[in-house]
């Protein structure tokens, strides 16, 4: 007896797969024989994507009105959204840098810019004037044995030396004073806006952080020394500013709180007025549509003409 040879059968190429469709990555010889990165090159289909995919259009579904896709949900534009009152600290901070059309930036931001410009000019003048005088005197002492063509030439040379000293040392003082004043004002104003109240501790913290960062290049000792000096200088400055504000009867934060409340009420009234106009417009459209529908019904209920009836009968 001879052993019966093993029969191998191959499935036809067009045979449909049996059993549930596999939606995961390919398994079997492809995964074991090929390299591992080959699996990532093949498209991967998840069951949720297959279930969420729309069915293919057919002749019966194209004619039925029930299978028409639903329109996307309509959302109101930004102009019709209800205004919100900035009640949190971060919302008040973001409100400083947002200005609507036709409106200026908040007063806190403009005050920071004005103080920066004023400190730049003050530092330039404060550092330039003494430097110009000292530079002129030093030039006169150094150039006593120098020969000039005339008195005008000597005076012009001395003035040029004074001008060079004024610009050089004025710029050195200007950017330093501007940096310190702007950083101090930003920190103190930011704390006041975030906490929505005025306090001496805000100025103390602003002075300590400002001078601490300014002397940070000297190491930990410079950082501690600068922070201590800034806190000591910020304490009387904050007490003076808050005291002057309370003498006027209303502090700066109370004024800003009242103005913010008034602006919010105006925006709320404008929003309500826009909604009312929209409702009136929609109601007028409904009335006109009903009138047109009534007119069409009346025209359809009228009897036909005799010539039209004869033509239709023939």
3-state secondary structure labels for all residues of the chain: CCCCCCCCCCCCCCCCCCCCCCCCCCCCHHHHHCCCCHHHHCCCCCHHHHHHCCCCCCHHHHHCHHHCCCCCCCCCCHHHCCCCCCCCHHHHHHHHCCCCCCCCCCHHHHHHHHHHHHHHHHHHHHHHHHHHHHHHHHHHHHCCCCCCCCHHHHHHHHHHHHHHHHHHHHHHHHHHHHHHHHHHHHHHHHHHHHHCCCCHHHHHHHHHHHHHHHCHHHCHHHHHHHHHHHHHHHHHHHHHHHHHHHHCCCCHHHHHHHHHHHHHHHHHHHHHHHHHHHHHHHHHHHHHHHHHHHHHHHHHHCCCCHHHHHHHHC
Q: How far apart are CA 314 and CA 310, in angstroms?
A: 6
Residues 209 and 258 in one domain: yes
What is the chain's alpha carbon radius of gyration, rounded to the nearest angstrom? 41
Task: Evaluate whether residue 293 is within a structural domain.
Answer: no
Residues 150 and 200 in one domain: no
Residues 141 and 204 in one domain: no
Task: Evaluate whether residue 157 is within a structural domain.
Answer: yes
Residues 143 and 169 in one domain: yes
Residues 138 and 200 in one domain: no
Task: Evaluate whether residue 281 is within a structural domain.
Answer: no
Task: Evaluate whether residue 131 is within a structural domain.
Answer: yes
- Contact predicate 188/242, CB 8 Å: no
| CA within 13 Å, CB half, 7 | 2
Residues 206 and 265 in one domain: yes
Task: Evaluate whether residue 128 is within a structural domain.
Answer: yes
Residues 210 and 167 in one domain: no
Task: Evaluate whether residue 77 is within a structural domain.
Answer: no
The residue range of the domain holding 166 is 107-178
Tell which of 119, 146, 178 closes a domain: 178
Look up the pTM and report it.
0.57
Task: Evaluate whether residue 78 is within a structural domain.
Answer: no
Token pair 């052993």 is at which residue?
3
pLDDT 10s per residue in the chain (314 long)?
Answer: 444 444 444 444 444 444 444 444 444 444 444 444 444 444 454 444 444 444 444 444 444 444 444 544 444 455 556 666 667 778 888 877 776 665 677 788 888 999 999 999 999 999 999 999 999 999 888 887 677 778 888 888 889 999 999 999 999 999 999 999 999 999 999 998 888 888 899 999 999 999 999 888 888 898 999 999 999 999 999 999 888 888 887 887 888 888 878 887 888 888 788 777 776 777 777 777 777 777 787 777 777 666 655 655 65
pLDDT at residue 56, as a whole number:
46
Q: How far apart are CA 231 and CA 20, in angstroms?
A: 74
Number of domains in the chain: 2
Q: Read off the tokens for 2.
A: 């001879």
pLDDT at residue 171, as a whole number:
94
Residue 306 falls in which region: left (phi positive, over 0), alpha (psi -120 to 50) or beta: alpha
Residues 208 and 257 in one domain: yes
pLDDT at residue 134, as a whole number:
93
Residues 140 and 205 in one domain: no
Task: Evaluate whether residue 172 is within a structural domain.
Answer: yes
Number of residues that make up the chain: 314
């Amino acid at each position: 007896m001879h052993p019966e040879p093993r029969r191998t059968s191959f499935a036809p190429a067009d045979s449909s797969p049996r059993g549930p469709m596999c939606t995961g990555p390919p398994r079997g010889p492809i995964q074991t024989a090929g390299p591992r990165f080959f699996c990532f090159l093949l498209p991967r289909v998840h069951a949720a994507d297959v279930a969420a995919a729309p069915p293919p259009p057919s002749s019966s579904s194209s004619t039925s009105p029930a299978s028409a896709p639903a329109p996307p949900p309509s959302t109101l534009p930004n102009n019709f959204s209800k205004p919100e009152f900035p009640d949190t600290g971060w919302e008040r901070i973001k409100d400083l840098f947002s200005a609507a059309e036709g409106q200026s930036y908040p007063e806190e931001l403009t005050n920071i810019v004005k103080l920066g410009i004023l400190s730049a000019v003050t530092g330039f003048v404060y550092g330039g004037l003494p430097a110009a005088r000292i530079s002129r005197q030093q030039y006169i002492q150094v150039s006593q044995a120098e020969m000039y063509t005339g008195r005008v030439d000597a005076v012009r040379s001395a003035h040029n030396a004074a001008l060079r000293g004024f610009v050089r040392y004025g710029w050195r003082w200007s950017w330093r004073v501007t940096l310190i004043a702007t950083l101090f004002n930003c920190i103190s104003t930011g704390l006041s806006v975030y906490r929505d109240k005025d306090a001496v501790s805000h100025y103390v913290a602003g002075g300590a952080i400002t001078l601490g960062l300014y002397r940070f290049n000297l190491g930990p000792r410079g950082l501690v020394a600068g922070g201590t000096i800034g806190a000591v200088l910020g304490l009387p400055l904050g007490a003076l500013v808050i005291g002057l504000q309370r003498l006027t009867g209303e502090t700066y934060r109370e004024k800003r709180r009242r103005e913010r409340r008034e602006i919010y009420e105006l925006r709320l009234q404008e929003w309500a007025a826009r909604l009312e106009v929209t409702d009136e417009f929609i109601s007028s459209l409904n009335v006109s549509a009903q009138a047109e529908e009534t007119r069409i019904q009346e025209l359809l209920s009228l009897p036909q003409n005799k010539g039209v009836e004869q033509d239709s009968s023939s």
